[in-house]
Structure 1
Amino acid sequence: MKAEVVLLYFTLSHFGRAAFPFEPSPITVVEEKYTKIYPVYVGVTERDIISIHQLLILDRSLYIGTSEHILHIDLDKSFTDYMTDRKSAVWRSSEADEEACKIKGRPELECRNFIKVLLKRNDDTLFACGTNAYNPICRHYKVDTLEPEGDDIKGAGRCPYDRKDNNVALFADDNLYSATVRDFFRKDILIYRSLGDKPKLRTVWADSRWLKEPSFVHAINYGIYIYFFFQEVSVEYYGVEKIVVSRVARVCKNDMGGNIAMLEKEWTSFLKARLVCAVPGDTPFHFNILSSVTDVFRLGDQDIVLTTFTTPKNSIPGSAICAFRMDDIDKAFAGRFKEQKSAVSIWTTVPDYEVPTPRPGSCAGSESFVDYASSNDLPANVLKFLRTHVLMAESVEPIGHKPWFTMTVATRDTMVKIAVDNTAGPNGDHTVVFIGSENGWVLKFLVQSNGNGFLERSIFLEMMNIYNYERCRYNGDMGIKRVTDLQIDKKGGALYVAFTHCVIKVPLGSCERHGPCKKACIASRDPYCGWANEACIHLSPGISVGYEQDVENGDTDGLDDC
């Protein structure tokens, strides 16, 4: 790893060899004096900690999962300085659970119930899980009243024990797919399916070929698969120090597990591949730490995801945005397998003639498994191969084989969260990407495609200083400025930016800041803004009044300076 750091420095220092991307400047910088007027939610609690972990927009409501509370904000209500919750559910750990937590040696401050899962189960029901003083628990809540519904459910395998552990969860066909730490000592980290009509399945326990110290980032329901995005300690690259790489894994939604002889209660379709986000060159500069992933969206004629990557803490600071086609991800899973013959062997590619038929990792009833109604019926040699071969040989390369955008040591900031609106503007024909940073800034880009999902060019529209020191302070604690979540409310024209201690409502377009200056309004090239009635206004979808804007060129010829 020390050698890798030296190579990274060489790459940054020799631009001719690596052709490091140029970092453009934004058209507009929105300073704190403008953003400090944005409404802020700081939470309500009688105790001495607030820790926001989950945001969920459902219909015209924003639900916030925090310490000991699930909170509801009406998105149609107008706020000035502070946002207030319409209703809330108080969910505290019992005194017995808190005492047991302290006996286990955990700090009193951590022996609370931190909400780490907050999902829509159906039109009437929310599903939530909390750490519950290191004894995780889940329950259902009524959407309209936030009253608990039914009996509590054990949270092990569905919610982490520690609020600092990353986890992901989603419902697909009323089955819960989760990826988390399953035990108090962090020995069992798994990808798990439960609660629905399909059998409970999990990754193989204590097998580093399947998962090795993973940290989960996102999960996506797409087609016949569930995709999991995470980082983990590499098993194929090893040396004196740990090397962390980013992965995408895939399981079939109709996976029923193996049989009594092999993989009986475990996935028979689990495969994983490395995600690569690197500046190309003689010595590529790798961004190995995956920090955020969007849901799948359409760009041109391709389904893609956008991701944020960073460098390790002991490396040269930097972050990057990479775009991946879902077709390229699936192509990697259709490629060659990698294997390690023995514990001391290097990893090599499995020859095609050694891969059994039907092809391991496919879904029953599709592709080469068309003759198999269930994964329970798979031949023994296929299950045996799957048990020890889950890593693909080919990595998934980003669109264009390079990052779409980078920030390096010169900017002294790191991109950590991402959200996308691919129907931006009054006609819904633009794609805008919002990126949250470690230092409380939000970056806004207009992206354009050549029709094949390739990001042909991007326009750096705005850089907004969002974190509000005065309003986000809690009990004298200034908190941290790292953006923890981004959620877009299209109908309300707002971006909700979450930090540990607060949530800030940010307009999708800073149109009013241009005021009566037509030249500034047109030059902004912002799809959300247009000139109408002698002012720069926010353009809602389907707006009926006439307006002027020039997103493509920002042509201001003939317009007076202001």
Structure 2
Amino acid sequence: MMKSEVALLYVLIIMSKGSAQSMKPRRSVFFSDVNLKLFKEPDFDSLSSVLVREDIGQLFIGARGKIIILSLDDITKQTQQFNWIVTSKDKAQCQTKDKSIEECDNYITLMHTLNDGRILVCGTKAFDPICAHLIFEKGKVTMEDNWENGKGKIPFDPNKNFASLVNGNTLYTAGSINFLGSVEAFQRHGRNSLMTEHISSWLKGPNMISMKFAEISKHSYNNEDDSVFLFLTEIGIENQRNDLRLSRVARVCKSDMGGLKTLQRKWTSFLKAHLDCPFGDEGSTSLVQDVFFLQDEKNVSDSIFYATFSLNPKPSSTCSQSAVCTYKLSDIQQVFRGNFMTETDSGPWVRFTGSYTSPYPRTCINDEMRAKGVRTSRDVLDSDLMFVKNHPLMEQVVTPITGKPLLVGSAAQFSRIVVDKVTSLDGQQHNVMFISNNSGWVQKAVWSDDDGGRIIEELQLFQDPQPIRFLQLSSRSGQLYSTTRTAVVQLSVRDCSRYTSCIDCLIARDPYCGWDRRTGLCAAVAGASKFSMIQNLIDGDVGICPSSHLPKQIIDIHLTLDVAQFLPCTPDTNLPISWNFSGSILEPSPRHILFSQGLILTPSFTDEGLYTCDTVEVVEGREHRKAVIQYNVKILEGEILGRVNWFQGVVVYILGSFCLLCVMLIIYMYWKHKP
């Protein structure tokens, strides 16, 4: 090896030792090796909304000037398309208001399924929002002719963030509501429309992230009203720094009717609290990026919010620290039942120490309140509603279930998250997280009380690094749909083909996968027979695997005495490696430099022997080793090497001459006996 090459390897070693420590995925699968389906068209861009309809097997994609409908089973099959473009007159009028020609298109930014099966779609329409309905009848989707005003439902500006959800036929939205984008509101639309007060103590420079509905009445012992939760970031009113952004969770009650006199057509149940995900440097704040709500069907209070956070909110960042934190619904409810904050005359917000006896809005209306005559928010006293108006902030902070993040990453910034409930062969349920980032990758991760969080694998879904904007999961079919601004990808979350042996299959502890003893393949456990398949998610015990007699790869290599040589070791996983020399663990020394991709060996005569590179994985205190490659090293001195090379040359010359004579003899005999 040249001296310059050895020097480069030394630099790589130093860089690898000095890099930030973070949780590594067990395996990294690059784009060329991921089994996926891709939908992309030359004029398909600015993808701005996605809707999965499992009941009709369709995937709806909202983009600039069009709605594309794809088959949910195979997104490469386009079933329909609606062009919803802006007239030249509307576009010209929009441009007179200092908007660019791109901004003055119609971006389909909202799509929701209503209770009657129709799909509500809204587009920005040259800064003049409009809504319509799609209907699925007789295997075909059509668009109704009657259009609705979309102002206040979606932002005028297609680049503005907003959050929305539909419960039944009721639409809830949170975002900017005017042409300039300077007024932000959290609203309920329809017959009993409500919105937030336009005061900074309610919302101050908010960035709306996500909205979730919790059916609390379903399991409440006192029939407490359902809740709508809004996750956002905003400038903290309780801090001395005027520019410090904090993560928030806000809550309103579903049956809120507004006040009779005070807070007319305004929320009377709006409360908010600081949402904390502690990681990063001391004093830094974490900003929520996305939220997934996994509702517990047995007890809604045990439901969990999974959220991604970042210390750097800029989408263009490629090296910012991120994390995943989880929050129990009952813990959030408890914070909203706590103490209020109040604003002092001098400005700072402090704990409210006065008396406030009304249970509303600490809890939404329940049987106890109804028994006292408070059946709706309009029955709440004006004095209580005035208190609510001036005290939207709670004192207590919402903290994660574990007190810390489940996962922390220091590579590309986490963006979207979805969670799937997976039933293993033993009947246990496991929550599998799929976390996207701003470089086009998705990580598959699980968390358990026993061994904490672990990333099973990371998958490169898009060849070019780009932010993943949407992540949708069809649990029924086991398909994950991921989108950027210009493309859609479909991936089976139950693909177990990357585990090529029983040992790989079991030790990965992928809840989706098990080893099929009949076929000799790693396959999905969903719907499989327990008698033919094995799986061990507790400790990855590979002792139950059938015996394997695969030959080990041994490479004979001759090294020159005292000349450094690089012995590469590149496993198909990201697991740490360990070197074994003639039956003993190889320790670092001046002659043996170990790092993550191989070994630099500067040999002496005592270094002859068998070198084995193993991956090392510890599961529940049990160490698993797997040989990646073996080198049978022999040492030659310079002079001996020269004599050996000379001798080899002579042998090759003699053998070559002998072969040439044989060929000439065969040709001679052929021509001699030719008729």
What TM-score do the two structures reach when normalised by structure 2?
Answer: 0.71
The residue aligned with 2:505 is 521
Deviation for aligned residue 1:430: 2.0
How much has 1:513 moved relative to structure 2? 2.4
- 1:468 positional shift: 2.4
Distance 1:378 1:292 in 2: 34
Per-residue deviation, 1:276: 0.4
Q: What CA distance in whole angstroms lies between the structure 2 residues aligned with 1:160 and 1:265?
A: 21
Partner of 2:209: 217
Contact kept? 1:277, 1:286, Cα under 8 Å: no
Superposed CA offset, 1:83-123 (max 9, x none): 13211222122333212211111110111111111110135
Counterpart AA for 1:519: I
Distance in 2 (alpha carbons) for counterparts of 1:69 and 1:143: 17
Q: Which has the larger radius of gyration?
A: 2
Tell me the equivalent position of 2:80. 87
Name the residue aligned to 2:521. 536
- How far apart are 1:124 and its partner, in Å? 2.7
Match of 1:245 in 2: 246
**Residues 364, 440 of structure 1: CA spacing in aligned structure 2 closer, same or farther, 3 A cutoff?**
same
SS in 1 for 2:534: coil
CA gap of 1:334–1:131, structure 2 versus 1, over 3 A, is same
Conserved 8 A contact 1:360-1:385: no
Mark the CA change 1:367 to 1:271 in structure 2 (over 3 Å): closer, same or farther. Answer: farther
Note the residue ranges of structure 2 that are not aligned, 5 or more in a row: 1-19, 217-225, 552-675
- The answer for the alignment partner of 2:66 in structure 1 is 69
CA contact (8 A) 2:441 2:460 kept: yes
- Structure 1 residues 299 and 552: CA distance shift in structure 2, 3 A: farther
Report how far residue 230 of structure 1 moved: 0.8
**1:219-265, Cα deviation, whole Å (9 max, x unpaired):** 111021111111111111133x5111011111111111112x31111
CA distance in structure 2 between the partners assigned to 1:270 and 1:250 by the alignment: 6
The residue identity in structure 2 corresponding to 1:125 is: R
Contact preservation (8 Å) 2:245, 2:285: no
SS in 1 for 2:36: coil
**d(CA) in 1 for partners of 2:287, 2:141:** 37
**197, 201, 206: which one aligns with 2:194:** 201
AA paired with 1:69? Answer: K
What amino acid maps onto 1:401 in structure 2?
G
Check 1:492–1:242 CA distance in 2 against 1; reply closer, same or farther (3 A cut): same
1:548 and 2:534 aligned: yes
Q: Which residue of 2 aligns with 1:155?
A: 150
| Partner in structure 1 of residue 336 of structure 2 | 333
After superposition, what is the alpha-carbon deviation per residue over 1:63-99, rounded to whole angstroms, capped at 9, x for unaligned? 112112222222234x7xxx13211222122333212
AA aligned to 1:32 is F
Structure 1's unaligned 5+ residue stretches are 1-20, 451-455, 470-479
- CA drift of 1:369 comes to 6.0
Letter of the structure 1 residue corresponding to residue 309 of structure 2:
F
Contact 1:220 1:296 (C-alpha < 8 Å) held by counterparts: no
Q: Conserved in 2, the CA contact under 8 Å of 1:116 and 1:167?
A: no
Matched, 1:398 2:382: no
* Counterpart residue number, 1:457: 452
Structure 1 residues 451-490: Cα deviation after superposition (integer angstroms, max 9, x where no partner): xxxxx62232111122124xxxxxxxxxx61111111122
Corresponding position of 2:474: 489
Normalised to the residue count of structure 1, the TM-score between the two structures is 0.84
Is residue 48–residue 109 contact of structure 2 (8 Å, CA) maintained in 1? yes
Q: Are the structure 2 counterparts of residues 204 and 43 from structure 1 closer, same or farther at C-alpha, using a change threshold of 3 Å?
A: farther
Question: What's the CA shift for 1:150?
Answer: 5.1
Q: Relative to structure 2, which stretch is displaced further, 50-59 or 224-233? A: 50-59
Report matched runs for 1:34-433 at 5 Å. 34-35=33-34, 38-43=36-41, 45=43, 50-59=45-54, 60-77=57-74, 83-144=76-137, 145-149=140-144, 151-195=146-190, 197=191, 199-205=192-198, 207-222=199-214, 223=216, 224-239=226-241, 242-259=243-260, 261-279=261-279, 284=282, 286-298=284-296, 302-313=302-313, 317-342=320-345, 344-351=346-353, 353-366=354-367, 368=369, 370=371, 371-408=373-410, 412-425=411-424, 429-433=429-433
- Relative to structure 2, which stretch is displaced further, 297-306 or 119-128? 297-306
The whole-number CA distance in structure 2 between the counterparts of 1:528 and 1:113 is 41
**Are residues 361 and 551 of structure 1, via their aligned partners in 2, closer, same or farther at CA, if it must alter by over 3 Å?**
closer
Which whole-Å CA distance do the structure 2 matches of 1:85 and 1:424 have between them? 32
Write the distance in 1 (CA, Å) between the matches of 2:132 and 2:30: 42
Q: How many residue pairs were aligned? A: 506
Q: How far did residue 284 of structure 1 move?
A: 4.0
Change (3 A) 1:366 1:387: farther
The 1-side partners of 2:237 and 2:266 are apart by 21
Question: Cα offset for 1:29?
Answer: 1.7
Per-residue CA deviations over 1:176-213 (Å, capped at 9, x if unaligned) read 11111101111211011112x4x1100012x0001111
**What secondary structure, in the 3-state scheme, does the structure 2 residue paired with 1:100 have?**
helix
One-letter code aligned to 2:196 = T
RMSD value over aligned CA atoms?
Answer: 2.5
Tell me which of 457, 476, 493 is aligned to 1:508: 493
Between 1:168-177 and 1:397-406, the stretch displaced more is 168-177
Partner of 1:27: 26
Over 3 Å counting, the alpha-carbon distance change for 1:262 and 1:447 in structure 2 is same
Following the alignment from structure 1 to structure 2, what is the Cα–Cα distance between the partners of residues 538 and 183? 53
- In the alignment, residue 229 of structure 2 is paired with which amino acid? Y
Amino acid at match of 1:26: P
State the alpha-carbon separation in 1 of the partners of residues 400 and 370 from structure 2: 29
C-alpha displacement of 1:294: 0.3
| Partner secondary structure for residue 384 of structure 1 | helix
Alpha-carbon distance, 1:364 to partner: 3.6
Output the CA distance in 1 between the equivalents of 2:442 and 2:297.
22
Pick which of 416-425 and 108-117 moved more. Answer: 416-425
Residue 269 of structure 2 contacts residue 360 of structure 2 at CA under 8 Å; is this kept in 1?
A: no
Q: In the alignment, which residue of structure 1 is the partner of 2:605?
A: none
Structure 2 letter corresponding to 1:120: T
3-state secondary structure, aligned to 1:111 = coil
Instruction: Give CA-to-partner distance per residue, 1:478-521, whole Å, 9 cap, x none.
Output: xx611111111223322111111111112214412234x33222
Judge which range, 305-314 or 104-113, deviates more: 305-314
**Is 137-146 or 103-112 further displaced after alignment?**
137-146
Alignment correspondent of 2:4: none
Query: For residues 374 and 401 of structure 1, what CA distance do their matches in structure 2 show?
Result: 37
Shift in Å at residue 299 of structure 1? 10
Alpha-carbon distance in 1 for matches of 2:83, 2:374: 48
Q: Give the secondary-structure state (helix, strand or coil) at the position aligned to 1:512.
A: coil
**Alpha-carbon distance change, 536 to 56 in structure 1, aligned in 2, over 3 angstroms:** farther
Shift of 1:540: 5.6
